[in-house]
Amino acid sequence: MAKSNSYNQEPALGEAVRQFIGEKLQGREPDIDEFVKQYPELEHQIRRKIRNLQKIDTLFDSLVQVDESDFEDATTGEELVGKVVGSFEIVEMIGRGGMGVVYLARDTKLDRSVAIKSIPSELTDDLTTRMRLSREAKLLASLNHPNIAVIHDIIEQDEGTGYLVLEYVPGETLAERITRGPLKLEEALSIGRQVAEAVSAAHKKGIVHRDLKPSNIKITPDGRVKVLDFGLAKPSSSEGKKRDITAAEPGRVIGTPAYMSPEQARGKETDHRTDIWSFGCIMYQMMAARLPFEAETASDTLAHIIERQPDWEALPQGIPVNIRALLKRCLEKEPDKRLDDITDAAIEISETLSKPETAPPAKLRRIAMIIGAAIIIVGLSGLAQLFTSNEQYPTENAQAYEYYLRGLEYFSRDDTETSLELAIRMYEKAIELDPNFALAYARLSRVHSQMYWFKHDRSYARLALAEKAVRKALELNPGLPEAHHSLGCYYYWGHLDYDRALEQFAIARRSQPDNGQLLSKIAFVYRRQGQMDKAHVTLEKAIELDPLDPGLSHNQGQTLILLRKYPEAEAYFDRAIMGRPDFPAPYSWKAQLYVCWKGSTVQARTVLEEASKYIDAAKDDSILLQSVLFEIFDGNYQKALDILSTGSSEVFETEFLVVPRAQLYAQINGLMGNQQLEQNYYDSTRSLLESRIAEDPNDARFHSKLGIAYAGLGRKEVALLEGNLAVKLLPVTKEAWQGLYPVEDLARIYVMVGQYDDAIDTIEYLLSRPGVLSIPLLRLDPAWAPLRDYPRFKKIIEVGK
Amino acid sequence: MRHTVDHKTRHLVTMAQDGDESALNQLCKVYWPRVLWIVRLRMGRELRSKLESVDLVQDVLFSALKDIEHFTYQSEGDFLRWLSRIVENRLRGHLHRLHADKRDIRKEVRVNNHRLITEDSFAEALEVVDTITPSAIMSKTEDLARLEKAIEQLKPEYREVIVLTKIEGLSYKEIADRRGKSSEAVRKQLSRALESLISIFENV
């Protein structure tokens, strides 16, 4: 029925509608009420048709005509300026971006500038999100971190609206900085360090940024970095359903996903490691002056993020190896393989920054490049050697291996406590990942032994760690040459047990006859045993095996000084300096060479001046100490005092000796005739050394100097007692090199207390064996001045001429 | 009111042409939903179904906006038409490229393993927009979806004449000249097209 009815009405209705449309299309606006009167029985249907027509028209209109209200969200802003929100006076609009409008406002209560922005709508959606925002804001504020811009307050207004009161940070964003021009390495590292520290602090509180990018990083005019918008990105996991990546960040309308991690790009769950990825992207961009993943379109960019490797070649040559390695670890696609703790990045970068000059000048760089190329060739064959024999697969765990390699890198970097500690951390991580990683245990042990040897930590606990690690290595792989090598080091460095050390080194050498490092250890043991010539020859062979290690050349130079073969020594120090222009020791010893050899403070000073181009002398104890001594030698006492005042350490400490600063003051004042000051300084030297000895009664270095302090104070008996005790604690028979220093100090004590014959006996003994003391030095050092009129001493000096 | 909109759009376009990213951002916010719908209405199911994801559409819009410096502002409607035309052309270009060599699709474009190619991708794109900005047009989403379905079912020649007049804003004369018909014929065809559209619209 209904059907036939509608069928009957259809032609009439169609006619009516056509007529209406026709009139409309001709530009007439028919009156609807009038129009329907023509078809009373169809009024209802016609009205419905017309309503739909109007609806369609409106829909089309709304598509092609933008409504003014559409702009409101985007352009509101100015109208708030001058108004008051809570206790904040809105001063001006300072930004407008994906996250809405940002105003500069005055906090009238606390009289400070703040930034205010409306809470992004997606953060007001639900209660949990709001609670999280507020909790994280509080946590961040409690951190009080210098590199994090905090949320001061959250002003909630009606349902769903509110404002964030943020710390106002003046300055440009890193994005703006990058657009302005390329960053210098130091600048990039400094910014990177501060960002890493900020993120590290937040991560420790469980807060993940999730939208780390240069536009969220501000650089204040004084160079301080502040990371903005912490706690404002919504965690992907909290969203009920998986959404498209474009939805994962509702604030982002236009722009680039360049800093997104692969897991973000895939729309998967994210954790703190997503920040580490973004951090890697930012670091890469600062250094390479381009993005690691960049394509014409966002989807291509995402594809690159997921699939491609960044162009590592695009990083400039000057970027240190460890920083390259760091970037690679940050930009590891698989979160599980990625750097797990951004604190490591902060440490790595600050370590790099604290290294003296990283870039040698052009001439040296060129030489270094040639040497570098050679190292690559030698290095490859060395590597091949490492993986033959029974070390084919040191570990199956790639990440553990990477930590192991980083440990090697730190260990070979320098001898500072920080480098060694970092090396230990790396090996420990390697072992954590692969508890059966014998080679890592072996290496770990060696670093512990070295911590002890270099007197960074003279505790038995340290030695116990060294022993435990090497025993574990041998338990896992009894034939491992590196483990025997390390056990040898443990005996040598830890106990001066030369026989056992040589025994272990010999075992290791059976499998590694071409290992120059291992052979050099044998040479060093000979040197400590006093077999200087044998040491010299052996070390020469080690250098043939490992010609580019500047450390070996440096040591050969030292051996030649001890042998008093000065002209030969010179070339070795030059080689060492060329290889590592940033190492202080070769300069210091080369300077020493010129005073020992020629008594020339002029040449010695030239070497130190050369060093000062690469090294901050005020921070290197041995170089500063030498600068002072050379002035003393030349009688420039005031200048010596001036140089002394530039240093900061209370005690100059080298491997071989400790010299309290006060003792140098005492000595110089004595030479200047300021007796009262001399006495005062000797007395403070005494009390300082007495307390150090109370802590570590077996360190000969302290006893020697305490003897000198007592002698300076006129306390002859105890002076001689301490001087002799030092010699007994480290007898030359046990330590043919380091043991010479207490002996020489004893000679000084003899001079100070007036026992000249004993002094000369001692000097003759020192000159009869390999050692640093030389006739030109005897002439130069005013400590021996009281002997100068003494016939026996005159005779010694004459022989030298 | 239209004057205000025109003024604001013109202002934003000028700023965007000067490289102001936040202006570009706002233009995008305001125009993006419209561009999407327009492209959607114009392209038809067949082509649309070949588009793989929201990202592609969004990319195209962004890259089109990057060309903003080549645009000479005349009126606000011009801007929208310019934008949607450029977006559609690029989308078609993409489709052409993608389907010219099937093997390259996975390699070159879509590797993020999102859900495959669905009809819903546009709807999702709009959903994205919904979360971005409360826009006047968003309240009409349901009706627009109905309109889209209705247009889909129209005879191709009806669809064309509706798109040309209602979206492109062409006059009967302009269409007539293109087609070699009389203006009267175009008007009559539009009338029939609209009648047909209303009927379908009522029933979808």
Neighbours of A661 (CB within 10 A): 22
CB-CB under 8 Å, B147 with A25? no
Q: Which of B26, B24, B37 is nearest to B137 (CA)?
A: B37
Three-class secondary structure of residue B181 per DSSP: coil
Rounded-to-integer distance, Cα A745 and Cα A719, Å: 11
Please say if the pLDDT value at position A666 is more than 50: yes
Please say if the pLDDT value at position A619 is more than 80: no
Residues from chain A that touch B41, judged by Cβ atoms under 8 A, are 63
Greatest mean pLDDT among A8-12, A301-305, A755-759: A755-759
- The whole-number average pLDDT for the span A163-186 is 84
CA-CA distances (angstroms) from residue B140 to A19, A62, A229, A652?
28, 9, 34, 80
B4, B143, B194 ranked by CB distance to A59: nearest: B143
- Which residue of chain B comes nearest to A242, CA vs CA? B114
CB-CB under 8 Å, A64 with B166? yes
Please say if the pLDDT value at position A135 is more than 60: yes
- The whole-number average pLDDT for the span A476-494 is 94
> Backbone phi, then psi, for A324, in 5-degree steps?
-60, -45
Average pLDDT, rounded, for chain A? 83
**The predicted structure's pLDDT at residue A767:** 95
CB-CB under 8 Å, B63 with A244? no
Residues from chain B that touch A63, judged by Cβ atoms under 8 A, are 34, 37-38, 41, 137, 144, 167
- The whole-number average pLDDT for the span A209-216 is 87
Residues from chain B that touch A15, judged by Cβ atoms under 8 A, are none
The number of angstroms, rounded, from the C-alpha of A10 to the middle of its chain's C-alpha atoms is 83
Band the pLDDT of A17: cuts 50, 70, 90: confident
pTM of the predicted model as reported, rounded to 2 decimal places: 0.47
Q: Looking at CA atoms only, how far is residue B50 from chain A in angstroms? A: 16
Band the pLDDT of B2: cuts 50, 70, 90: low
A75, A98, A265 ranked by CB distance to B8: nearest: A75
CB-CB under 8 Å, B55 with A299? yes
Query: For testing the chain A interface, which of B132, B162, B173 should be mutated: the one with the most A CBs within 10 Å?
Result: B132
Which of A151-160, A350-359, A400-409 has the weakest average pLDDT?
Answer: A350-359
Q: Looking at CA atoms only, how far is residue B10 from chain A in angstroms? A: 12
Please say if the pLDDT value at position A371 is more than 50: no
- The whole-number average pLDDT for the span A126-155 is 76
A53, A69, A253 ranked by CB distance to B198: nearest: A53
- Which residue of chain A comes nearest to B202, CA vs CA? A52
State the distance between the two ends of chain A, measured CA to CA, in whole angstroms.
138
CB-CB under 8 Å, B147 with A59? yes
Band the pLDDT of B44: cuts 50, 70, 90: low
**The predicted structure's pLDDT at residue B111:** 25
> What DSSP designation does A727 have?
H
Largest CA distance in chain B: 51
Query: For testing the chain B interface, which of A52, A64, A307 should be mutated: the one with the most B CBs within 10 Å?
Result: A64
Please say if the pLDDT value at position B175 is more than 60: yes
CB-CB under 8 Å, A297 with B59? yes
- The whole-number average pLDDT for the span A424-449 is 93
Residues from chain B that touch A18, judged by Cβ atoms under 8 A, are 191-192, 195
Q: Looking at CA atoms only, how far is residue B109 from chain A in angstroms? A: 6
**The predicted structure's pLDDT at residue A207:** 84
Just list the catalytic residues of A.
Answer: 211
> What DSSP designation does A21 have?
H
B22, B147, B190 ranked by CB distance to A97: nearest: B22
CB-CB under 8 Å, A253 with B25? yes
The number of angstroms, rounded, from the C-alpha of B119 to the middle of its chain's C-alpha atoms is 16
Which of A117-121, A301-305, A383-387 has the weakest average pLDDT?
Answer: A383-387
CA-CA distances (angstroms) from residue A89 to A84, A86, A109?
5, 8, 10
Band the pLDDT of A249: cuts 50, 70, 90: very low
**The predicted structure's pLDDT at residue A386:** 36
Q: Which of A240, A328, A335 is nearest to A287 (CA)?
A: A328
Q: Looking at CA atoms only, how far is residue A650 from chain B in angstroms? A: 57
CB-CB under 8 Å, A95 with B55? no
% chain A with pLDDT above 70: 85
Q: Which of A356, A178, A368, A361 is nearest to A281 (CA)?
A: A178
Residues from chain A that touch B187, judged by Cβ atoms under 8 A, are 22, 25-26
Q: Looking at CA atoms only, how far is residue A74 from chain B in angstroms? A: 6
Q: Which long-range contacts (CB under 8 A, 24 or more apart) does A545-550 make?
A: A545/A514, A545/A515, A545/A516, A545/A519, A546/A516, A546/A517, A546/A520, A547/A378, A548/A371, A548/A374, A548/A375, A548/A378, A548/A579, A549/A516, A549/A517, A549/A579, A550/A575, A550/A576, A550/A577, A550/A578, A550/A579, A550/A580, A550/A583, A550/A586
- Which residue of chain A comes nearest to B142, CA vs CA? A59
Residues from chain A that touch B38, judged by Cβ atoms under 8 A, are 63-64
Band the pLDDT of B98: cuts 50, 70, 90: low
* DSSP calls for A311-364: -GGGS-TTS-HHHHHHHHHHT-SSTTTS---HHHHHHHHHHHHHSS-SS--HHH
A398 compared with A562, residue with greater pLDDT: A562
Please say if the pLDDT value at position A549 is more than 80: no
Please say if the pLDDT value at position B100 is more than 50: no
A64, A73, A253 ranked by CB distance to B77: nearest: A64
Q: Quick check: A718 and A758 in contact, CB under 8 A?
A: no
**The predicted structure's pLDDT at residue B139:** 59
A110 compared with A565, residue with greater pLDDT: A565
CB-CB under 8 Å, A48 with B202? yes
**The predicted structure's pLDDT at residue A198:** 92
Please say if the pLDDT value at position A750 is more than 90: yes
- Which residue of chain B comes nearest to A14, CA vs CA? B195
Residues from chain B that touch A251, judged by Cβ atoms under 8 A, are 132
Residues from chain A that touch B77, judged by Cβ atoms under 8 A, are 64-65
A18, A48, A57 ranked by CB distance to B191: nearest: A18
> What DSSP designation does A171 have?
S
Q: Looking at CA atoms only, how far is residue A437 from chain B in angstroms? A: 37
Please say if the pLDDT value at position A668 is more than 60: yes
Please say if the pLDDT value at position A234 is more than 90: no
Cβ contacts below 8 Å, chain A against chain B, sum to: 182
CB-CB under 8 Å, A68 with B1? yes
Q: Which of B175, B148, B168 is nearest to B83 (CA)?
A: B168
Residues from chain A that touch B130, judged by Cβ atoms under 8 A, are none
- Which residue of chain A comes nearest to B131, CA vs CA? A250
Three-class secondary structure of residue B174 per DSSP: helix
Question: For residue A338, how many C-alpha atoms fall within 13 Å in the half-sphere facing its CB?
Answer: 24
ipTM of this model? 0.79
Band the pLDDT of B147: cuts 50, 70, 90: confident
